[in-house]
Chains A and B, each alone.
Chain A
Amino acid sequence: MSALTLRGLTVRRGACPVVDAVDLSVAPGEVVGLLGPNGAGKTTLMRGALGLIAADGVSSLAALPPRARARAAAWLPQNREIAWGLSVADLVALGRLPHGRGGTPADRAAIQGALAAMRLETFASRRATALSGGEQARVLIARALAQEAPLLMADEPIAGLDPAAQIATLELFAQLARDRRAVLTSLHDLNLAARHCTRLVLLDKGRKVADGAPRDVLSKTNLASVFRLDAALIETDAGLVIDPRGVLA
């Protein structure tokens, strides 16, 4: 059974489709990277899939009642909002809201596990609003992990993180996939996407233009037509490296 199935998902802003008839399926064990230039519709696609905005077409998640959906998918929005000065542990515990009243051994284990996964154990009692931007981002990822949903949908989760934290986060996503969970994440770093995602989906002007193995999606033609990049694709012993050399007119 797939973690997410979209058929002909279309989101319109006025008359103009921002997401245009996208078919997509994400299965357990996959880390699917959602790529595309700014304004390609990555965020809108994920919000539409979750049912957070009105969309035409079929989304297996949007069809669920709210509580069931919250147990089926965790959502990590791009804008990292923390309104009040909660402690890191209390903030991560918010991920347990869909699971009932909280405070059970399962809740505590999930919170501890999420803190450990993001290496935040020593931060547990710190006030979240007093942390740096990158640290707050890690706390919010931990919150989404604590939700323990079969599918994690993350909107540019590694933007603004230091290089080690970026790689650690994507390795964590790979670990989730090995645990038979699924991840759908939008990314801008093509090299990290190539190395850490099991599959890439390329969006351009709301349309899905490529879907497949990183090596096939990140072709010279796709990089040129979608990203307007003149890039060299270099094979190394660690895999494919994309070296953008210039912007095409």
Chain B
Amino acid sequence: MMRAVTLAALSALVVLMIGASLLVGYAPLRPGPALAALFGQGDPLTVIVMQDIRLPRACLAAVVGAALGMSGAAMQGLLRNPLAEPGLIGVSGSAALGAVIALQTGLAGAFALALPLTALVFAAGAVALLLLLAGSRGGSLTLILAGIAVSALAGALTSLVLNLSPNPYAAAEVVFWLLGSVADRSMEHVSLAAPLILAGLAVLALTARGLDALTLGEDAAEALGVSMARLRLQVLVGTAAAVGAATAVAGAIGFVGLVVPHLLRPLMRARPGALLAASALGGAAMVLAADLAVRLILPDRDLKLGVVMALIGAPLFLHLIFRTRKELA
């Protein structure tokens, strides 16, 4: 009962946040004409602002947040560890490396989607490397270790590219991209990332029963009819598709995958399967809210979403640790 109420409340929150995201922005627009412009009615300039600037931004914030939230919940469920997060498997680091290389080599300017496509290729490469290292027979520990290795390698190569950067302006461009943002993206970005993210989320949704059973440990879950090899593969592939695509278009946005499942776990009575859908909605709401904060706090300083997210996320996480500590005492 509480579960249905929570999911309904979260859905309402996401709708509310998308509405706010469409109505708040640099250009002061009144709600009536703004919503009409969304459907191509009224002043052509307003139509451009709504359809080409605010709509893709709101869509991206929502799907990126859903990707990060749900894959965070899936990773925590798979590893039975509340500290797990989607970045752990190295896919986001590798996608970022791809983007950085695209920016440095000038490939990013070649055509509109060159940057996100390069990032996606690198994310796919990371998954292939992970499967090679951890295999479908490797345990969860092998998966984490392989993920850490891939992350470290991607991080080192990203630093190398920055290190060898020919001029400070190019380096600054890379650094700004790495901070993460959903501003100034087009509907092409949405149509590139959204299908992949939704496919990833669909795969993750299949893991709900397996993650529930895993509460009892790997042996008990296997004896309950859950194939651990398949469950690991589903979480890996789902997370890779969702987070790889999210990072490819929005850069690295941290803390969502870590904090959102934490916040919602008590409301879903701690059941890891039920937490998946809730975390998708919660993640979407949180990234939409952070993206609103970006626009409201310092509208003319191009504050980056990833920065604000970490500024919101870190204290929230501290609070959660504090609360957990009190519960344990």
A81 interface contact, C-beta 8 A: yes
Q: In the complex, are the beta carbons of B271 and A90 less than 8 A apart?
A: yes
Q: Count chain A CB atoms within 10 A of each CB in B213, B219, B223, B271 and give the residue with the most.
A: B223
B106 interface contact, C-beta 8 A: no
- Could you tell me the distance between the alpha carbons of A51 and B327 in the complex, rounded to whole angstroms? 39
Q: Count chain A CB atoms within 10 A of each CB in B222, B224, B272 and give the residue with the most.
A: B224
Given contact pairs A70-B224, A94-B212, A77 touches B270 in the complex (Cβ within 8 A)? no
A239 interface contact, C-beta 8 A: no
Instruction: Return A245 CB to nearest CB of chain B, in Å.
Output: 37
**Chain B contact residue count (CB 8 A cutoff):** 21
Given contact pairs A97-B225, A98-B225, A86 touches B219 in the complex (Cβ within 8 A)? no
A182 interface contact, C-beta 8 A: no
B185 interface contact, C-beta 8 A: no
B49 interface contact, C-beta 8 A: no
B269 interface contact, C-beta 8 A: yes
Given contact pairs A97-B212, A97-B224, A98-B224, A75 touches B270 in the complex (Cβ within 8 A)? no
Of the residues A67, A69, A77, A85, contact of B220 by C-beta under 8 Å: A77
Which A residues are in CB contact (< 8 Å) with B212? Answer: 94, 97
- Could you tell me the distance between the alpha carbons of A143 and B213 in the complex, rounded to whole angstroms? 11
**Chain A contact residue count (CB 8 A cutoff):** 31
B132 interface contact, C-beta 8 A: no
Given contact pairs A97-B213, A143-B216, A84 touches B270 in the complex (Cβ within 8 A)? yes
- Least CB separation from A78: chain B residue: B219
Q: Count chain B CB atoms within 10 A of each CB in A81, A82, A98, A143 and give the residue with the most.
A: A81
Of the residues A67, A86, A90, contact of B225 by C-beta under 8 Å: A67
Q: In the complex, are the beta carbons of B217 and A81 less than 8 A apart?
A: yes
Q: Count chain A CB atoms within 10 A of each CB in B80, B217, B220 and give the residue with the most.
A: B220
- Least CB separation from A67: chain B residue: B225
Which B residues are in CB contact (< 8 Å) with A67? Answer: 225
Instruction: Return A139 CB to nearest CB of chain B, in Å.
Output: 10
A-B contact count (CB 8 A): 77
Q: In the complex, are the beta carbons of B215 and A47 less than 8 A apart?
A: no
A238 interface contact, C-beta 8 A: no
Q: In the complex, are the beta carbons of A83 and B225 less than 8 A apart?
A: no
Q: In the complex, are the beta carbons of A52 and B215 less than 8 A apart?
A: no
Given contact pairs A87-B269, A90-B271, A70 touches B223 in the complex (Cβ within 8 A)? yes
- Could you tell me the distance between the alpha carbons of A231 and B108 in the complex, rounded to whole angstroms? 81
- Least CB separation from B225: chain A residue: A70
Within 8 A of A (CB), among B238-273: 265, 269-272
Given contact pairs A84-B272, A98-B224, A91 touches B219 in the complex (Cβ within 8 A)? no
- Could you tell me the distance between the alpha carbons of A47 and B214 in the complex, rounded to whole angstroms? 17
A140 interface contact, C-beta 8 A: yes
Q: In the complex, are the beta carbons of A83 and B213 less than 8 A apart?
A: no
Q: In the complex, are the beta carbons of A90 and B216 less than 8 A apart?
A: no
Q: Digitize B99-113: 1 where CB-to-A-CB distance is under 8 Å, 0 elsewhere.
A: 000000000000000
A160 interface contact, C-beta 8 A: no
Of the residues B216, B222, B265, B270, contact of A94 by C-beta under 8 Å: B216
A18 interface contact, C-beta 8 A: no
- Could you tell me the distance between the alpha carbons of A94 and B216 in the complex, rounded to whole angstroms? 9
- Could you tell me the distance between the alpha carbons of A149 and B103 in the complex, rounded to whole angstroms? 59
Which A residues are in CB contact (< 8 Å) with B225? Answer: 66-67, 69-71, 97-98
A50 interface contact, C-beta 8 A: yes
Given contact pairs A66-B225, A70-B225, A73-B223, A140 touches B271 in the complex (Cβ within 8 A)? no
A79 interface contact, C-beta 8 A: yes
Q: In the complex, are the beta carbons of A94 and B219 less than 8 A apart?
A: no
A55 interface contact, C-beta 8 A: no
B161 interface contact, C-beta 8 A: no
- Least CB separation from A68: chain B residue: B225
Given contact pairs A69-B225, A70-B223, A94-B224, A85 touches B216 in the complex (Cβ within 8 A)? no
Q: In the complex, are the beta carbons of A81 and B220 less than 8 A apart?
A: yes
Which A residues are in CB contact (< 8 Å) with B223? Answer: 50, 52, 69-70, 73-75, 77
Which B residues are in CB contact (< 8 Å) with A98? Answer: 224-225
Which B residues are in CB contact (< 8 Å) with A71? Answer: 225
Which B residues are in CB contact (< 8 Å) with A87? Answer: 269-270
Q: In the complex, are the beta carbons of B269 and A86 less than 8 A apart?
A: yes
Which A residues are in CB contact (< 8 Å) with B24? Answer: none
- Least CB separation from B222: chain A residue: A52
Taking A66-B226, A70-B224, A91-B215 as known contacts, 19 extra A-B pairs with beta carbons closer than 8 A to each other, sorted by chain A number, are A47-B219, A52-B219, A66-B222, A66-B227, A71-B225, A76-B220, A77-B217, A77-B220, A79-B217, A81-B220, A83-B215, A83-B217, A84-B80, A86-B215, A94-B212, A94-B216, A94-B224, A97-B226, A147-B224
Chain A interface residues (CB < 8 Å from chain B): 47, 50, 52, 66-67, 69-71, 73-77, 79, 81-87, 90-91, 94-95, 97-98, 127, 140, 143, 147
